[in-house]
A and B are shown apart, each in its own frame.
Chain A
């Protein structure tokens, strides 16, 4: 098989890689905020539960979580494994990444000086207005570097979908590598991820720059 054929075949999986990537961000970014807010809840039980959930999600392999979400329903309830593996893959990725984003958000929220809340309170901002207008915009700016880190990791983590045989780029590459006894598909995959991340870095850098107008 020529290098060109390999690249073309693997590119076909790239759209699925992108699907995992974008859908995971779409769901995990807001979900992470909900988890962060619950984690910071003044109701002790709620925050304790969230703390536990986060330790599970961060303390066990993503690969294991992928397997659990994909095949767990079959073993537990006898529900047949869906043909479209995209759904369980995105669910597993979204939940896992939400746990990481939640801790990033929490760190960001807790880093905002209490004086910002007090100033808003005296000026008659409601709690919701204070959060949406005063706190959140400052949090976003502060957490951008950490979020970029996670997003870059996510690009590479999409390759883990091979464990449930979801036909994304890396899974296809691995199949070609096996059938052709060649290491070349892995190098092609590496190049794909690298280029993907160069683009991610560029985009995130632009966003950070746009938030650079204040300190």
Chain B
């Protein structure tokens, strides 16, 4: 394994869109993240894989400020959101929030809003012109293969359709980086394909994404970088072929072997 993908954020050139250094997190006496360091470069797709309880989702939730880290650094585009475990002010965190989007495992659409309103309300609250937000929303729905669903309510859609609305909702904020927390885990197997297809399409358009996933073939095919986590540490990370095809780590081999069965 090589460390070439790890940019410490201090070297010259353009800073990574996201850099995490020495991140620590405990719930009570249980240490769930131990010294996690990673970076995400513009236009890359990073997959995070690993068994349940390995800390993948916690890592994503800390990166999106839904949980607070206990130690380490979080930098977006070279700017500190957290430095040595200390966060910047709430107001500053809000400006960081506009940089990223998050797609949840359970979609978390707003059930009382139409599909279109789910997508357009946040941009409008951020000062976007209503008509422009509407146009952009319709455009995103078309891109997600959901033309004609703008007036439907989430409960009238299949899980796969709901997740695509959730992706459109996140994209409507024009994020620089999009996080996915097990985006297909709550879906029936026959519906995962349509969601993965959309993510694949975004990858082709060079959208920067971090995907926590259990879909190994997808992670191998779509990402530029794979991170394998277990027990709160990054066991290894690197090019998907290096991790999936030629890993030297016993723990990774074991995990991938279990997946094939």
Residue ranges of A at the interface with B (Cβ–Cβ < 8 Å): 113, 115-116, 118-125, 129, 133-134, 137-138, 141, 213-215
Within the assembled complex, what's the spacing in Å between the Cα atoms of A129 and B112?
15
Tell me whether B192 is interfacial, beta carbon within 8 Å.
no
Q: Which residues of B contact A116 (CB under 8 A)?
A: 108, 110
In the complex, 25 of the A-B residue pairs with CB atoms within 8 angstroms, ordered by the A residue number, are A113-B106, A115-B106, A116-B108, A118-B104, A118-B108, A119-B104, A119-B108, A122-B64, A122-B100, A122-B101, A122-B102, A122-B170, A123-B122, A124-B98, A124-B122, A125-B122, A125-B125, A138-B112, A213-B153, A214-B112, A214-B153, A214-B154, A214-B155, A215-B111, A215-B155
Closest to B169 in A: A123
Check if B18 is an interface residue, CB within 8 A of chain A: no
B residues 85-138 touching A (CB-CB < 8 Å): 94, 97-98, 100-102, 104, 106, 108-112, 121-122, 125-126
Bin the interface of chain B by size: 20 to 34
Contact A138 B104 (CB under 8 A): no
When C-beta atoms are compared, the residue in chain B nearest to A137 turns out to be B112
Given that A124-B126, A213-B153 are known contacts, is A133 also in contact with B97, CB under 8 Å in the complex?
no
Specify the main secondary structure of chain A where it touches its partner: helix
| A116 and chain B: residue at smallest CB distance | B108
- Listed in ascending order, the chain B residues whose CB lies under 8 Å from chain A are 64-66, 94, 97-98, 100-102, 104, 106, 108-112, 121-122, 125-126, 153-155, 169-170, 173
Using A115-B106, A214-B154 as known contacts, list a sample of 13 further A-B pairs with CB atoms less than 8 Å apart, ordered by residue number in A.
Answer: A113-B108, A115-B104, A119-B108, A120-B110, A121-B97, A122-B170, A123-B122, A123-B169, A123-B173, A124-B173, A213-B153, A214-B112, A214-B155
B154 touching A115, Cβ below 8 Å: no
B residues less than 8 Å from A129 (CB atoms): 125
* Chain A positions within 8 Å of B109 at CB level: 119
B169 surroundings in chain A (CB, below 8 A) = 123
**Least Cβ–Cβ distance between A86 and chain B, in angstroms:** 38
CA A129 – CA B102 in complex, angstroms?
Answer: 19
Knowing A129-B125, A214-B154, say if A122 contacts B111 (CB, 8 Å).
Answer: no
Which residues of chain B have C-beta atoms less than 8 A from A115's C-beta? 104, 106, 108
The complex places the Cα of A204 from the Cα of B231 at a distance, in Å, of: 53
Q: How far is the CA of A116 from the CA of B109 in the complex (A)?
A: 7
Residue of A nearest to B101 (CB): A122
Q: Is the CB of A122 within 8 A of B66?
A: yes
Find chain A residues with CB under 8 A from B111 CB.
138, 214-215
Q: Give the residues in chain B near A119, CB-CB below 8 Å.
A: 104, 108-110
